[in-house]
Structures are given as C-alpha cells and as structure tokens.
C-alpha cells in the first residue's frame, strides 16, 4: 500500500518520520514523485487538487483532506464514486482558524485595508 501526500504547506519530512514510526514499511510518496500511481491506496491533500488528479490513481481507497473543511473537495465532479473522504481534525487547526477569524475581524474594525493602500 502506498500513501501519497499532495502538499503546499505541510512538511513532508515530518509526515514521513511520524508515519514511519506508526506504520513500519509504509510506502510514503510525495507529489509530484508518485511512481506507479496504481499502487496508491490513500491520498492526503492540504489543498484542492487540480481536476483529473484522482483519475491517475485507479486503486484509491481513501482520501484525507488536511484543510479546514472538505466541502469544496466532496462537491467535485471528478471525485471517485465510493471512495470515502475524511477530514483531519486537530486542535491546532481550531486554534489557527480562531486566530484567522480574529485577525480578519480586528483588521476590518481597524480599517487595515485602508492603511495598506
């Protein structure tokens, strides 16, 4: 079984070390270096993948979304039928989203865009 990480923000070395400790012998791949994509059974994304990404993985058994929500992902026309989509839930994500919302509200109330201009 191969797990593919499609990342923009995530540190692939941290993922590799952590998963290797928990799942010895895991075939961990990082896009774009995926090798034989027919061997990929699980794919993890920290962003929306381009259309057609799933078609290259005919034996995909699970999709993991590492972002803030999976709504955009589950409404895609190219999502493979019958393949479950999961969202990683982590207390750190909640803290980041809380900070983001707070930053936006304070910026709006303090006219931050006007100052940037």
Q: Which domains does the chain have, with CATH numbers?
A: 2-88 (3.40.50.720)
pLDDT of residue 1: 83
Give the residues across from 96 on adjacent strands: none
For 6-27, the DSSP string reads: E-SSS-HHHHHHHHHHHSTT-E
pLDDT string in tens for the chain (117-residue length): 899 999 888 889 998 999 899 999 999 999 999 999 999 999 999 888 889 999 999 999 999 988 767 787 888 899 999 999 988 777 777 777 788 889 989 998 889 888 888
Answer yes or no: pTM beyond 0.85.
no
In Å, how far are 29, 42, 87, 88, 101 from 91, measured between CA atoms?
A: 26, 23, 13, 10, 16
């Amino acid at each position: 079984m191969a797990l593919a990480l499609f990342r923009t923000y995530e540190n692939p070395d941290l993922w590799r070390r952590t998963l290797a400790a928990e799942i010895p012998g895991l075939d961990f791949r990082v896009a774009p270096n995926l090798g034989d994509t027919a061997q990929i059974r699980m794919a993890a994304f920290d962003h929306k993948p381009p259309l057609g990404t799933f078609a290259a993985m005919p034996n995909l058994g699970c999709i993991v979304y590492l972002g803030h929500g999976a709504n955009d992902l589950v409404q895609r026309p190219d999502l493979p039928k019958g393949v479950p989509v999961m969202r990683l839930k982590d207390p750190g994500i909640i803290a980041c989203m809380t900070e983001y919302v707070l930053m936006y509200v304070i910026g709006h109330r303090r006219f931050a865009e006007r100052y940037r201009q």
